[in-house]
C-alpha cells in the first residue's frame, strides 16, 4: 500500500463523519474499548489533558500543546478534523505522524479491526493513542471529536479536563437544548479529576455543577476568575493579539480572532489548575506567541495575504459566527468580499442572519459530500439580502474574488472547515 492508497482505504472502508455525517456516528465505547485492550491500553503510558466544547477546543488544544512543548515536555496532540492531510490529526512536538507509520498500522492491524467495523474516528483514535506510546510522549492533549460522554476519546483518565463552551451544534446527536448538549460534554468529567469550564449560561452551569459533584471532581469556572485584563488586536506588522493578565504577565498571542480572548482566559485558568512548576511564564508567553509554528495549527483567523487582505477561518456554527461576523465587519476596507459555504448539518439560516449585508458574496461548495450545493447557498443568501454569484468550487470562487479585488479590499474565506480545507489546498497566488 502507498500512503495515498492507505488514506483512501481508511476513508472508503470505514464510516467517516466528515464525509457522510450521521451514518458514521457510533454511540458507544465498545469498539474503542476493544481496540484499546488489543493494543495494551497505550494511553496509560503517559499523562493526558482532555479538551471538549462546542467551539474553541482546537485552539485551546494547540495552544496548550505549544506551551507544554516550550516547557520542555514531549507532547502528543490529537485533534480533528484535518484540513489538508490526514496526518495533521496526530502530532508529536508539532511533527505529524509519518506516512509509513499510517501504512504499517493499517497493513498489520486490519485483520483485527476489520471484523469490528469501526468508524474512521474510532480507528484514528486507537492509532493516535498507540503512536503516542511508541513515541514516548510525556503528555498528550486529546481533543474530543463529538460530544464527550460517548466520544471514543473518553476512555482516557486525564489529569485535567477542559470544556470550553456550549452552543448549538450536532443537535441530532447531542440534544436540542443547551442543557442536553452540556450533559453530553460533561461526560468527560472524571472522578476526583479537576475540570475547568470556560463559559457557561443559566442552562449549562447547573449541569456541570451536578456532574462535578457526582464525580467528586474539583470544578473551576474560568469566567468567575478572569485572568485576562485586556486583549487588543495588533496594529503593527505582527498579527495576533496583545494580552495583559492578572497573574501571567503581558504577552503576545499569535492567534488573532476576537474569540481567542475567551480561549486565552480558559487556557490560563487551566494552567493555574495544572500547577506544573516546569510551565514557567517564559514557556507560557512563548507558547502563545508561536502556536502555529510549534504545533502546525492553521485556519484560525489565518492571514494569507495583506494587499488585498485575505483571511480564512474555520468558524462553522452560530457560536463561532457571533464572534467572526463583528470582527469581519470591523476591518476597514474598500470592499468586503466573502467566499462562503456550509455543510448540511449546520444552522445556515441563523448564521446568515449574522453575515454582513454590505459584502459581495462568492458562494461555494466544499468537496465534502455533506456540503450544501452552492446554488442552494446562493438562494438562501438571497433570502437574507446577501448578494453574490454561485461559483461552484472554492478555488473558482476565490480566483474570481481575487480577480475582482483591489489592493484595499478584504477577502474572507469561511463558513465551514471544509471550505477552508479546500482553500488551503489550492495555490493561492
**Are 340 and 313 spatial neighbours (Cβ–Cβ below 8 Å)?**
no
How many Cβ atoms are within 10 Å of 105's Cβ, its own excluded?
Answer: 20
Q: Is the pLDDT of residue 58 over 50?
A: yes
Which band of pLDDT confidence, cut at 50, 70 and 90, is reported for residue 17? Answer: very low
Full DSSP string of 79-113 = -S--SS-GGGGEEETTEEPPHHHHHHHHHHHHHHH
Q: Is the whole-model pTM more than 0.75?
A: yes
**Mean pLDDT across 396-411:** 97
What are the residues whose beta carbons fall under 8 Å from the beta carbon of 44, sequence distance 6 or more?
A: 157
| pLDDT, position 24 | 42
Q: pLDDT tens across 303-348, in order?
A: 999 999 999 999 888 888 999 999 999 999 999 999 999 998 778 9
Share of the chain above pLDDT 90, in %: 79
Q: pLDDT tens across 19-42, in order?
A: 444 444 456 799 999 999 999 999
Q: Which residue ranges make up each domain of the chain?
A: 3-295, 302-425
| Choices 3.40.720.10, 1.20.1250.20, 3.40.50.300, 3.40.1190.10: CATH for 3-295 | 3.40.1190.10
3-state SS class at 161: strand
Greater confidence (299 vs 12) lies with 299
Q: Among 168, 143, 147, which Cα is nearest to 320's?
A: 168
Lowest mean pLDDT, pick from 7-11, 162-166, 196-200, 344-348? 344-348
How far is it, in rounded angstroms, from Cα 417 to Cα 314? 5
Q: Is the pLDDT of residue 239 over 90?
A: no
| Choices 3.40.50.970, 3.90.190.20, 3.30.930.10, 2.60.40.10: CATH for 302-425 | 3.90.190.20
Q: pLDDT tens across 255-301, in order?
A: 998 999 999 999 999 999 999 999 999 999 999 999 999 999 999 99
- Over the range 212-248, which residues count as b (16 or more CB within 10 Å of their CB) and which as e? beebebebbbbeeeebbeebebeeeeebbbbbebeeb
Amino acid at each position: 500500500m502507498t500512503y495515498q492508497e492507505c488514506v483512501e482505504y481508511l476513508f472508503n472502508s470505514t464510516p467517516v463523519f466528515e464525509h457522510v455525517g450521521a451514518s458514521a456516528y457510533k454511540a458507544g465505547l465498545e469498539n474503542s474499548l476493544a481496540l484499546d485492550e488489543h493494543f495494551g491500553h497505550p494511553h496509560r503510558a503517559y499523562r493526558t489533558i482532555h479538551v471538549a466544547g462546542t467551539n474553541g477546543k482546537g485552539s485551546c488544544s494547540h495552544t496548550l500543546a505549544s506551551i507544554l512543548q516550550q516547557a520542555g515536555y514531549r507532547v502528543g496532540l490529537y485533534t480533528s478534523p484535518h484540513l489538508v492531510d490526514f496526518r495533521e490529526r496526530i502530532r508529536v512536538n508539532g511533527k505529524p505522524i509519518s506516512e509509513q507509520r499510517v501504512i504499517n498500522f493499517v497493513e498489520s492491524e486490519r485483520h483485527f479491526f476489520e471484523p469490528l467495523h469501526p468508524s474512521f474516528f474510532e480507528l484514528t483514535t486507537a492509532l493516535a493513542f498507540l503512536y503516542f506510546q511508541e513515541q514516548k510522549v510525556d503528555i498528550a492533549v486529546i481533543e474530543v471529536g463529538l460530544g464527550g460522554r460517548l466520544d471514543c476519546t473518553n476512555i482516557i483518565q486525564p489529569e485535567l479536563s477542559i470544556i470550553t463552551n456550549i452552543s448549538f451544534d450536532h443537535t441530532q446527536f447531542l440534544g436540542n437544548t443547551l442543557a442536553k448538549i452540556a450533559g453530553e460534554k460533561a461526560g468527560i468529567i472524571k472522578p476526583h479529576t479537576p475540570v475547568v469550564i470556560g463559559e457557561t449560561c443559566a442552562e449549562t452551569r447547573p449541569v456541570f455543577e451536578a456532574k462535578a459533584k457526582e464525580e467528586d471532581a474539583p470544578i473551576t469556572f474560568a469566567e468567575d476568575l478572569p485572568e485576562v485584563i485586556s486583549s487588543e488586536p495588533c496594529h503593527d506588522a505582527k498579527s495576533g493579539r496583545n494580552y495583559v493578565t492578572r497573574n501571567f504577565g503581558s504577552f503576545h498571542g499569535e492567534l488573532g480572532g476576537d474569540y481567542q480572548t475567551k480561549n486565552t482566559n480558559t487556557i490560563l485558568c487551566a494552567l493555574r489548575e495544572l500547577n506544573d512548576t516546569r510551565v514557567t511564564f517564559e514557556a507560557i508567553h512563548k507558547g502563545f506567541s508561536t502556536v502555529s509554528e510549534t504545533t502546525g495549527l492553521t485556519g484560525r483567523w489565518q492571514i494569507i495575504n495583506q494587499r488585498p487582505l485575505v483571511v480564512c477561518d474555520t468558524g462553522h456554527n452560530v457560536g463561532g459566527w457571533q464572534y467572526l461576523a463583528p470582527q469581519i465587519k470591523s476591518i476597514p476596507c474598500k470592499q468586503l468580499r466573502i467566499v462562503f459555504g456550509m455543510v448540511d448539518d449546520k444552522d445556515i439560516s441563523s448564521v446568515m442572519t449574522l453575515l454582513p449585508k454590505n459584502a459581495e458574496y462568492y458562494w461555494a461548495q466544499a468537496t465534502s459530500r455533506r456540503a450544501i450545493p452552492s446554488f442552494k447557498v446562493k438562494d438562501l443568501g438571497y433570502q437574507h439580502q446577501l448578494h453574490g454569484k454561485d461559483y461552484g468550487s472554492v478555488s473558482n470562487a476565490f480566483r474570481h474574488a481575487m480577480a475582482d479585488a483591489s489592493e484595499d479590499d478584504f477577502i474572507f474565506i469561511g463558513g465551514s472547515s471544509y471550505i477552508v480545507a479546500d482553500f488551503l489546498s489550492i495555490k493561492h497566488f
